[in-house]
A and B are shown apart, each in its own frame.
Chain A
């Protein structure tokens, strides 16, 4: 049997008497899309914050790729292959689209100043590899002609794609997507739809919060409803309709 990439066990979080996430259990298999929907205040974003390391959990465990990451910080989780796309896309606004992607790439030698003297060729080699990878992502996301623009000049949909591309540059294997279709037009939504389907085919795993149930049922392999901090029911979309 295939091992789960993410395993959430008895996750619990409360704020001054209000239970935000109440004993949540679920697991995600690699190469699948898992969806979560629910009303505002149901605890979806808190759940994402706990999984991605932005908030500390009160009780429970998070196992990612076989490692207990419950007490690990955001950076550790990101470097293990967990990426998070925010509802309001995040990016480096005054930096070009291409440089946004390159900043997300993995060029470990480039972070140390002395390496520019000692390991100049390794830095150059990594940079060339990163540029190639970034250009592939730009092509896949139809952003090639925007590579030289500053990121703040992009449309909301393009900014979301840029964020997603940055996570892929960082070799994220599990992507937490917070409302990926919110605030964008139908054309951009269709584009993101296609990209998610194609990434899924290539083995990327997704956990997605989405208000648009139709979108969720169209894409997800497994859907949970969240209500008052609890995961209420599990629906396999292959057997159910919205």
Chain B
């Protein structure tokens, strides 16, 4: 039972991550590979505030969101204002690598490769989320809020302006609107939800180290929205379902341990190739991801 609950918790964390990236990459057209840096920054700041400063989960999460927006959203918006398309994507890879370098080497703060163990579980008004089932309900709450928020947001005039930013920034400027502002809004919302996902991950696993937030993780989240599709809720959720549940399904296939890991990667890659070739919008996507 705990195994299934564990899978569901991880699935919900990836749904939050995928939906937040969907806004930045799908709606706003900012193809980026630094989602794990946003997610990791959220995890580290929440952890440090809880472990070192003794803040409660929700207070730490609130501050982590503000700090993460101040650090990552501002920096990424600055990059997005100066670089276009593939150049922006390359800059986000650099951002991701810098993030990894910082958390790996700043040992006095992050304890580097040794990681931070013993992260306390969240508590709210005396209600502790200690057991997997309790934690499941906490992640269910956050993933539901995320889904409802993005469902509502997609219908707002503000979201339409993010789509216009993706389609033609020059034309938006000619119409008197500021693309940089809309990019900031999009990136900030992405950072907000990535921080939530990071905080949930850190407090659920009770331990974080830099290897959980690498470029591979950013590629995985991008792959989730590539496969599921962007521009709606169902696409990223489906992508997350496929990429979180597939490894678990493959466990039941009797494959020798020596080839299981490689076979899994081949299957992932095959799915991606087939989707890109035959359904460039992803399984349920409204529009193609542009780089």
Partner-B contacts on A (CB < 8 A): 52, 74-75, 78-79, 83-84, 90-95, 99-100, 102-104, 107, 110-111, 113, 116, 123, 127, 163, 166-167, 169-170
Contacts and interface: CB of A to CB of B under 8 A. Distances in A.
Contacts of A111: 158, 161, 181-182
A84 B175 CA distance: 9
Contacts of A169: 175
A110 B162 CA distance: 12
Interface of B: 156-158, 160-161, 163-164, 166-168, 170-178, 181-182, 185, 189, 286-287
Contact of A113 (B158, B177, B286): B158
B175 A167 contact: yes
Contact of B157 (A74, A100, A110, A167): A110
A5 B191 CA distance: 45
Counting from the closest, the 5 A-B pairs by CB-CB distance are A78-B176, A92-B167, A90-B171, A110-B157, A79-B176
Determine which residue in A78, A93, A94, A113 has the highest number of CB atoms from chain B within 10 A of its CB, and name it.
A94
A92 B171 contact: yes
Determine which residue in A74, A92, A99 has the highest number of CB atoms from chain B within 10 A of its CB, and name it.
A92
Nearest to B173: A74
B69 to A, nearest CB: 12
A92 B163 contact: yes
A78 B174 contact: yes
Contact of A99 (B160, B171, B172, B174): B160
B158 A92 contact: no
10 contacts: A78-B173, A84-B174, A92-B168, A99-B160, A103-B172, A110-B156, A110-B158, A111-B158, A111-B182, A127-B157
A79 B168 CA distance: 18
B197 to A, nearest CB: 20
A103 B179 CA distance: 12
A74 B174 contact: yes
Nearest to B185: A113
- Chain A interface main SS type: helix
Given A90-B171, A94-B166, A75 B177 contact: yes
A110 B153 CA distance: 12
A174 to B, nearest CB: 13
A116 B163 contact: no
A104 B175 contact: yes
Contacts of A93: 167-168
Contacts of B286: 94
A166 to B, nearest CB: 6
Given A103-B160, A111-B158, A113-B185, A170 B167 contact: no
A113 B69 CA distance: 15
Contacts of A102: 157, 160
B167 A95 contact: yes
Contact of B174 (A52, A107, A116, A127): A52
A95 B160 contact: yes
B176 A75 contact: yes
Nearest to A90: B171
A94 B165 CA distance: 11
A107 B164 CA distance: 15
Contacts of A104: 175
Contact of B164 (A103, A116, A127): A103
A103 to B, nearest CB: 5
Contact of B170 (A90, A94, A95, A107): A90
Nearest to A95: B163
Given A75-B173, A99-B160, 20 more contacts: A75-B176, A91-B168, A91-B171, A92-B164, A92-B167, A92-B168, A92-B172, A93-B167, A93-B168, A95-B164, A99-B163, A100-B164, A103-B157, A103-B172, A104-B175, A110-B156, A110-B158, A111-B182, A167-B174, A170-B176
B27 to A, nearest CB: 10
Given A103-B160, A110-B158, A111-B161, A94 B167 contact: yes
Contacts of A95: 160, 163-164, 167
Contacts of A127: 157
B253 to A, nearest CB: 40
B163 A123 contact: no
A155 B160 CA distance: 23
A52 B174 CA distance: 8
Contacts of B163: 92, 94-95, 99
Contacts of B171: 90-92, 163, 166
A226 B60 CA distance: 65
A213 B157 CA distance: 42
Contact of A116 (B156, B161, B178): B156
A111 B164 CA distance: 13
A175 to B, nearest CB: 11
A172 to B, nearest CB: 9
